[in-house]
Amino acid sequence: QKEVEQDPGPLSVPEGAIVSLNCTYSNSAFQYFMWYRQYSRKGPELLMYTYSSGNKEDGRFTAQVDKSSKYISLFIRDSQPSDSATYLCAMGAPGTASKLTFGTGTRLQVTL
Amino acid sequence: DSGVTQTPKHLITATGQRVTLRCSPRSGDLSVYWYQQSLDQGLQFLIQYYNGEERAKGNILERFSAQQFPDLHSELNLSSLELGDSALYFCASSAGLAGHEQYFGPGTRLTVT
């Protein structure tokens, strides 16, 4: 079993929809949670960073962490075609925070 | 643009050869990380350098090595290349030792034929 599980998709939604992307993990030591966006043939781009449980909002993006369920989510409101990309979750533990563990990514397609 | 630069963008080479990938971190960042991304394995952490010293190692093969120079740029050396080494290689940087927020470069696409 992988430490971090992420549905590969593809997930196809119409423009304007609310998108929910999720990851589950098994390592209870993870305290740092990140979401990256990766366009085709480009490097991952850091979208959101959260520490421990709770919600964090940045514009149309909301990151949610539920440590009791070992489950994290990224919500995208008013999705746009430019949001079409692969979304990667990443996690780190104290003491090994530099060694991030990534999910395999969910491919999102926002259609007109 | 993350501020992290990588060269070359593409590299095609034959099995058994050796290549060097180069990375320049964002201005002011002291940590450099190397990752390998393949279709079946996703993004895999290879190694981290902080201010010239190796600080963390992932599943890096013995045929691979890296270093960080006094000007903080880093090089990843891949030797005795095999077909399975074909992948995207990313460099990332962060300000400090604990790299919660890592900024990725555009990557080097390596094709081994």
Which residue, B23, B43, B44, is CA-closest to B92?
B23
- Taking residue A99's Cβ as centre, other Cβ atoms within 10 Å add up to 17
The 10s digit of each residue's pLDDT in A65-76 is 999 999 999 999
d(CA B9, CA B108): 5
Question: How much is the mean pLDDT over chain A?
Answer: 92
- Taking residue B13's Cβ as centre, other Cβ atoms within 10 Å add up to 16
Which residue, A90, A74, A82, A88, is CA-closest to A25?
A90
Q: What is the pLDDT of residue B26?
A: 96
Tokens 């971190």 found at: B25
Q: What is the pLDDT of residue A96?
A: 63
Asked whether the predicted pLDDT for residue B100 surpasses 90, the reply is no
Confidence of residue B37 (pLDDT cuts 50, 70, 90): very high
Q: Which residues of A touch B110 (CB under 8 A)?
A: none
Checking phi first, is residue B28 left (phi over 0); if not, alpha (psi -120 to 50) or beta?
Answer: left
Q: What is the pLDDT of residue B97?
A: 78
Q: What is the pLDDT of residue B41?
A: 75
The average pLDDT across B29-45 equals 90
Residue with the bigger pLDDT between B96 and B92: it is B92
Q: Which residues of A touch B56 (CB under 8 A)?
A: 96, 98-99
Beta-ladder partners of B35: B45, B90
Q: What is the pLDDT of residue A97?
A: 54
Q: Does A101 touch chain B (CB under 8 A)?
A: yes
- Lowest-confidence pick of A30-34, A75-79, B9-13, B14-18: A30-34
Instruction: Pick B100's closest partner by Cβ from A44, A45, A49.
Output: A49
Confidence of residue B59 (pLDDT cuts 50, 70, 90): confident
Q: What is the pLDDT of residue B47?
A: 94
Instruction: Pick B55's closest partner by Cβ from A43, A92, A98.
Output: A98
Surface of A (12-71) touching B: CB under 8 A: 32, 34, 36, 41-46, 49, 51
The 10s digit of each residue's pLDDT in A17-63 is 999 999 999 999 898 999 999 998 899 999 999 987 889 999 999 99
- Residue B72 three-state SS: coil
Percent residues over pLDDT 70 in chain B: 100
> Taken in order B36, B37, B40, B42, is the CA torsion positive or negative?
positive
